[in-house]
C-alpha cells in the first residue's frame, strides 16, 4: 500500500505536486478512496493543530489547503463513485456595499480544505445572490462577511431575506472585524466565526458534524 503517512505530511508541508502525485498513485494501487481522504483530512487537521499552537501562520495553512484541494480534484470522482460526498455545502460572500474579501476568501479556502463544497458569491453580494446560490446548490450553510460598520446592517437584511425566502433550515454564520457573537444573536444568525481557522469548527458545529 502506498505510504499515506507521507501523503498527510505532504499536505502539512504544502507540497502540492507531491500530494497530487501520491493521491493518484494511491488510487492506481487500488487504495480505498475513503482511506486516501482520511489521509488528506488528517494532514489538514495536523496543520490546523499547528496553527492553533501558534507554530505556523495562516499562509502555511492555506498552502496546505491548496494542496488538499488539488488532491481532491483527483480523488473526488472516485469518491463519488463510492458514494462518498463532501461533508457539507456552503455558500459564502461579502454583503452588499462591502468590497472586503480577504476574510471571506480565507474562510472559503479553509472550508474547502476541510472537505466542504463551497460556492463563493463574491463581494458586494445582494441577498438574492446568497439565496439563489443556496437554493441551486442545496446549501447547508451560508457564510456572511462584512468589514465595515456601515455594511453591518446589510448583514441583518440579508439574514432576514434568507429566512423570508424559506431557507429556514440553512445555518447562517457571520464574521468580520466589527462583528460579534452578540451581533450574530441580535440579527438571528446561527453562529459567529471570529477567525478563518476556527470557522471550520463553527461550520461543523452548525451542521451537526463531530469536531
Q: Which residues bind other proteins (CB under 8 A)?
A: 54-60, 62-63, 66, 97, 99, 101-102, 105-106, 109, 122-124, 148-150, 152-154, 177, 195-196
Minimum distance of other proteins from residue 127's CB (angstroms): 14
d(C-alpha 108, C-alpha 112), whole Å: 6
User: Taking a C-beta distance cutoff of 8 angstroms, is the pair 119, 74 a contact?
Assistant: no
Minimum distance of other proteins from residue 105's CB (angstroms): 6
d(C-alpha 184, C-alpha 159), whole Å: 10
CB of 49 or CB of 85, closer to other proteins: 49
Minimum distance of other proteins from residue 34's CB (angstroms): 30
CB of 154 or CB of 207, closer to other proteins: 154
d(C-alpha 100, C-alpha 201), whole Å: 23
CB of 5 or CB of 160, closer to other proteins: 160
d(C-alpha 164, C-alpha 93), whole Å: 19
Minimum distance of other proteins from residue 79's CB (angstroms): 25
CB of 50 or CB of 209, closer to other proteins: 50
Minimum distance of other proteins from residue 7's CB (angstroms): 22
DSSP letters, 85-125, are: --SEEEEEEEBTT----HHHHHHHHHHHHTTEEEEE--SSB
User: Taking a C-beta distance cutoff of 8 angstroms, is the pair 4, 35 a contact?
Assistant: yes
The C-alpha cell that represents 45 in the structure block: 487537521
CB of 63 or CB of 133, closer to other proteins: 63
Minimum distance of other proteins from residue 57's CB (angstroms): 5
Helix (H) or strand (E) holding 67: helix 58-81
Helix (H) or strand (E) holding 159: helix 152-164
CB of 134 or CB of 155, closer to other proteins: 155
Amino acid at each position: 500500500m502506498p505510504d499515506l503517512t507521507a501523503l498527510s505530511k505532504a499536505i502539512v508541508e504544502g507540497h502540492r505536486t507531491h500530494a497530487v502525485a501520491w493521491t493518484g498513485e494511491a488510487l492506481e494501487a487500488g487504495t480505498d478512496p475513503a482511506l486516501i481522504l482520511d489521509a488528506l483530512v488528517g494532514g489538514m487537521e495536523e496543520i490546523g493543530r499547528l496553527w492553533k499552537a501558534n507554530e505556523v501562520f495562516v499562509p502555511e495553512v492555506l498552502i496546505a489547503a491548496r494542496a488538499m484541494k488539488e488532491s481532491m480534484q483527483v480523488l473526488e470522482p472516485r469518491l463519488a463513485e463510492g458514494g462518498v460526498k463532501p461533508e457539507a455545502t456552503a455558500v459564502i460572500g461579502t454583503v452588499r456595499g462591502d468590497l472586503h474579501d480577504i476574510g471571506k476568501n480565507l474562510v472559503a479556502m479553509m472550508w474547502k480544505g476541510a472537505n466542504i463544497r463551497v460556492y463563493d458569491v463574491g463581494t458586494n453580494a445582494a441577498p438574492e445572490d446568497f439565496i439563489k446560490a443556496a437554493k441551486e446548490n442545496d446549501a447547508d450553510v451560508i457564510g456572511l462577511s462584512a468589514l465595515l460598520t456601515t455594511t453591518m446592517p446589510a448583514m441583518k437584511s440579508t439574514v432576514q431575506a434568507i429566512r423570508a425566502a424559506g431557507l429556514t433550515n440553512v445555518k447562517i454564520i457571520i464574521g468580520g472585524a466589527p462583528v460579534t457573537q452578540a451581533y450574530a444573536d441580535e440579527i438571528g444568525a446561527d453562529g459567529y466565526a471570529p477567525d478563518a481557522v476556527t470557522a471550520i469548527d463553527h461550520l461543523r458545529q452548525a451542521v451537526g458534524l463531530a469536531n
